Copies of this chain bind each other. A is one copy, B any other.
C-alpha cells in the first residue's frame, strides 16, 4: 500500500509524535528524510493522506495526526506486546475501515447524518472482543464526524461520569492511533481490554484516568497501551 519513502516518513512522524507529542513540521521532515526541498514532503504527505494513514487540516501548522499504521510498522514498533491470538487483534482496526470516512453526505448535504456502527459496549475492563462486533447502527449528525473513520460505542459504567459521560450514553469515536494529553480515548491495554479513559502521557508513561474519583488512575508503559480512537461526540437519549 505504501512506498518505501511513504513508509519512512510515516514512521518518522509517528516517532516524533510519540516522543514530543507534536507532529514535525515539513522542514523537520525534510531534514529527517534528507531532502533539500519540502515540496517533496508535501507530496508524500498527500499520498499518505490519500491512503488514509494520516489526517490533516490544510494550511495549519503541524496539523496532522496519524490515523493508523500499516501492519508492518506496527509490528516493528510494537515489539513487546505479548503473545496473543491473532484474530483478537484482528478484531480491531483494519477492516471496519471502509465503514465511516467516505460518508460524504451526498444529498443530505448540510443536514446530513451518518450511520455509524455501534461496536459494542465499553467500560473499564471490557474484553476487546466486545468491540469487534457491530451490534447495530446509530445515526449521527454529520457535523460530528470529520474526516477519518468513526464508530460508536455504548458506554457501560460510571467511570467517566465526571466528564459528563453517563452509563448508557453512546460515544462517537474517531479512529486514530495518537492522542494528546487530556483527550478522552479508547485505549487498548495490553492487548486485552479496551477502556474509555482520559489520556495523559508523561515521557514513557501513559496514564489512563477515569473521571470518577472512585476509580484510580492507572499507569502503564507506553508499549502497553494502544490508542484506538478518540472521543469526538456523545449522544444520549432520555
**Chain A interfacial positions (CB closer than 8 Å to B):** 1-4, 7, 17-18, 20-23, 47, 50-51, 57, 60-65, 70-76, 81-117, 132, 134, 137-144, 161, 164-166, 169, 184, 230-238
Knowing A82-B83, A115-B109 touch, does A21 contact B73 (C-beta < 8 A)? yes
Answer whether A110 and B110 are a contact pair too, CB < 8 Å, given A3-B61, A97-B95, A103-B98: no
For residue A18, which residues in chain B have a CB less than 8 angstroms away from its CB?
Answer: 72
Question: What is the predominant secondary structure among interface residues of chain A facing chain B?
Answer: mixed
Q: Kindly state the separation between the CA atoms of A137 and B104 in the bound complex, as whole angstroms.
A: 12
From B64, B81, B139, contact of A109 by CB (8 A): B139
Q: Say how far A111's CB is from chain B's closest CB, in angstroms.
A: 5
* B contact residues around A102 at 8 Å (CB): 103, 115, 117, 137
CB pair B238–A231 under 8 Å, yes or no, is yes
- What are 6 A-B contacts defined by CB distance under 8 Å? A1-B62, A4-B22, A84-B85, A99-B103, A103-B104, A144-B237
A-B residue pairs, 8 tightest by C-beta? A21-B72, A98-B100, A113-B113, A139-B141, A112-B139, A93-B95, A234-B236, A86-B88
A233 engages B236 (CB within 8 Å): yes
Query: Complex Cα distance A88/B143, Å?
Result: 32
**A75's contact among B84, B95, B98, by CB below 8 Å, is which?**
B84
Tell me, rounded to whole Å, the shortest Cβ–Cβ distance linking A103 to chain B: 5
CA distance A104 to B94 in the complex (A): 19
CB neighbours (8 Å) of A110 from chain B are 107-108, 112-113
Q: Which of B23, B93, B164 contacts A236 (CB 8 A)?
A: B164
Residue of B nearest to A168 (CB): B164
